[in-house]
Structures are given as C-alpha cells and as structure tokens.
Structure 1
C-alpha cells in the first residue's frame, strides 16, 4: 500500500537559482513528519511544491494515490491538502466565524469542533480577524485549514514569533490533532516540541534531504550539525 504522501527526487528553482536538488520524503496516513533544517535550506520551497504553489522542475509528488503532476494549487487542495502557511494570513476584514465558514467543506470539522479545539475563537466569533492578537490569528488560520477537512495538515512555522503561553496552546492543539489520527507535515524550530508530535523527521540542508529518522535518533551532535542547536 502506498504512503499518503510520497515525494521522490524533487528539484525546483526560482528563475535561474536552483533551490531543491532531489528531495525525497514519505508520510504515512496518520503520521506526523517533521521537516527540519536551518533557515533557507528548502523547507518552505518543498511545501510550495507539494501544494502546487510552485512548479517543480523534475521529480514526482504523489498524494492519496494521485500524481499531483501539473495540477493547479486549488485542485491539489481539493484532494485534501490543508496548508497553514508561514506568517499569519487570516482574512483580516472578516469575522472569526466568517473566516472559518469561508473554508468549510463537508466532513468532521465544523465551527463547533474548531471552537472546541481553540476556545478563544469561540469567545471572539463575531470579532474581525484584524482585531485579534497574533496568536489568535494563528489559531484562526489553523482552524480555517481544518475546516477544509484535510487528509494532510501542513504547518509551516505555525508557532514562530508567538508568546510562549500561546505557543504552548498551539502545541497542545497539534498534539490533540495527532491523537485524533490527523496526518501532519510540520516545520518548526522547537526540537523539544517536535519530539512530542513527530513520528519521523526529514532534515534538509542546502536543498537536499540529508537525514531521515525518528526524533529519538536525532542526537545532540546531529542536531548541532544540521540545525545549529
């Protein structure tokens, strides 16, 4: 049986500048995979290719038995890719409820389910997104991705730049999602928190996958070598 997501020998470029050099990774149904590496090593570019925001030069991307090939991003999303992009991108002029309902598709995730996961959003349901704190906006963007009822939730630096107490709320939600069997591809800098969620890790260095393994096998020496921590 094939994996939920398979990326094989992926190459990509921005104009004449090549950014990915044969990246491969695999994610099974119900699994959380941490995509790791220092800044500028190709993590966000890999996600952009998976979600079809950026066209690959070569390689294969298969999701849920479909070859993403040259699919436009909106058709890839309809297959079940739910993206929480780097940076908070709520629809600022819409209320919390309107943001969530704008993304709603049939499935398990409803407004009430999202409000249960993030009680702050229930309290602010009729507030415009632009009035929310940065942490609340990030919760809203995660909730909006869940409202699409994705088979794979992709989190790109979902806790970056947030206050510690808010980061802990979001990590608790991510752990709850994992416990429910949600498949997750996650980029984050917190090794401690990633270790509580990720089944496996893929490390990128200069646009290449250089290490695959479980969090337990990512020793302090390897973390320093590949991640600078």
Structure 2
C-alpha cells in the first residue's frame, strides 16, 4: 500500500523556483533513498512533504492531501522528521526534548533509551551541551517519540565521526527490522544506503531523473547524478 505519494511537485523560495517536477512514493514498510548532489532539491522536497514551505502538485499521505495541512498537522498525521542540522531544543534537557514530542504508541522513553543508551546517561543535560553525535541521536529519538508511520531522515549522518555514523546506521537498521516502519532517507553514503534501502529516487536540478530498485542503481547512474 502506498503511504506517501508525490507527483509533479513544484516549490519556490520567493521568486526562485527550486522544484520543477519531483515524483516519488514510499510504500508501507518500505525504505526509499532520496539521492542527488548538493543543491538538487532533496531538502526542499522534504520541507514540502512536511509542509514547511508552500508547494504545488500531488502530495498525499495515507490518502490524505498534505497541501491542506499545516506542518504540525502533517506531523500528527504520522510524519516524523529528523531535520538537517538536528534542531534540538537547546535550552531543554534530553528528557524534556523527548517528552515534548511524545505521542501515544509503541515508541516510549525506555525504548528510545534502549536504542540510544547515551541519551539515558545524559537525560538531565541540556541539549546544547551534547556533542554533535549525541544531538543527532536525540533528534532521531525525538522523531520516534512522535510514533510516526513514516520516518524522514535528512542527512542524519552528515559531519559526524565514523564511529558515530556507524551507531546511527545501526539504529536505523534496528528501527527497520524491529518495526517495519516506512523510511525516507536523504544521505550520501551509497554503501550504507545499498544495505538498507529498497528503492532509490535521484533528483537533479529540482526534478526526478531516475527511480528504481536499489539493486538496479548502476555505477554509471550514480557517477552521472550522485558522484562528485
């Protein structure tokens, strides 16, 4: 069953158009990689899905028109976002960050602590005092506490040390294996994406230029549209 459907998506920042026709879908329980070079429209697509910027085109989630929803209603409908840059509530403690996002469902504070034990150790610390990797763990935990049907991770491993990246990827695999949650992943690590994603969608200059099974993603395609 299709959970998220995007067709002909266009979006602008003022007079500057950023998306010219993005098509993608995510089925229930599916992991989809959203790929492309920097500045090709990946984060703008995520912001459009989460209703953080205006957009046009077909945009539905669980059969409901997302265009009719403000961002907080899209979140309540079941879209959990781990945004680029983490954006934790700096002045709140780790526990308060998690509690602020909590909605009824299987993901509880204890379950997030089991996924990221470091968050349990730092429960009373302000988010601003955490390392970058710990803040990323907190951002993922906060999104899970909303008990989403679709988890969107926008560059969740960018700028982190290799050992921390490995922890984040291990956590994403655990979420997928234990819950079967639908996931939309924006990331540059082809090696890691190939291990977890079912399908890939590649953007170039604000348009979908390739979509298909992860196993069909050839070196020629990645070099043309993803490689530096």
TM-score range with shorter-chain normalisation? over 0.9
**Structure-1 residue corresponding to 2:191:** 192
**Structure-2 residue corresponding to 1:158:** 156
Q: Distance in 2 between matches of 1:65 and 1:158?
A: 27
Q: Distance in 1 between matches of 2:131 and 2:176?
A: 25
**One of 58, 62, 70 as aligned partner of 1:72:** 70
**Structure-1 residue corresponding to 2:5:** 6
Q: Distance in 1 between matches of 2:118 and 2:198?
A: 29
**One of 143, 146, 152 as aligned partner of 2:144:** 146
SS at match of 1:105: coil
Deviation at 1:27, TM superposition (A): 0.6
Q: Are the aligned partners of 1:175 and 1:196 in contact in 2 as well (CA < 8 Å)?
A: no
Q: Distance in 2 between matches of 1:145 and 1:49?
A: 17
Q: For structure 2, which runs of at least 5 residues remain unmatched after alignment?
A: none
Q: For structure 1, which runs of at least 5 residues remain unmatched after alignment?
A: none
**Structure-2 residue corresponding to 1:134:** 132
Mapped pair 1:85 → 2:105: no
Q: How does 1:44-83 map to 2 (within 5 A)?
A: 44-56=43-55, 58-83=56-81
Q: Distance in 2 between matches of 1:88 and 1:151?
A: 20
- Of Structure 1 and Structure 2, the greater helix share is in 2
* Number of residues of Structure 1 aligned to a counterpart in Structure 2: 227
**Structure-1 residue corresponding to 2:113:** 115
Deviation at 1:104, TM superposition (A): 0.5
SS at match of 1:69: helix
Q: Are the aligned partners of 1:33 and 1:202 in contact in 2 as well (CA < 8 Å)?
A: yes
Tell me the TM-score normalized by structure 2.
0.97
Q: Distance in 1 between matches of 2:86 and 2:45?
A: 19
Deviation at 1:144, TM superposition (A): 0.3
SS at match of 1:7: strand
Q: Please tell me the root mean square deviation across aligned C-alpha atoms, in Å.
A: 0.9
Residues 159-184 of structure 1: per-residue CA shift (max 9 Å, x gap): 00000000000000001111120110
Q: Distance in 1 between matches of 2:135 and 2:116?
A: 11
Q: Distance in 2 between matches of 1:94 and 1:41?
A: 34
Q: Distance in 1 between matches of 2:5 and 2:86?
A: 27
Q: Distance in 2 between matches of 1:10 and 1:99?
A: 32
Deviation at 1:88, TM superposition (A): 2.1
Deviation at 1:214, TM superposition (A): 1.7
Q: Distance in 1 between matches of 2:144 and 2:114?
A: 12
Deviation at 1:150, TM superposition (A): 0.5
Q: Are the aligned partners of 1:55 and 1:70 in contact in 2 as well (CA < 8 Å)?
A: no
**Structure-1 residue corresponding to 2:211:** 212
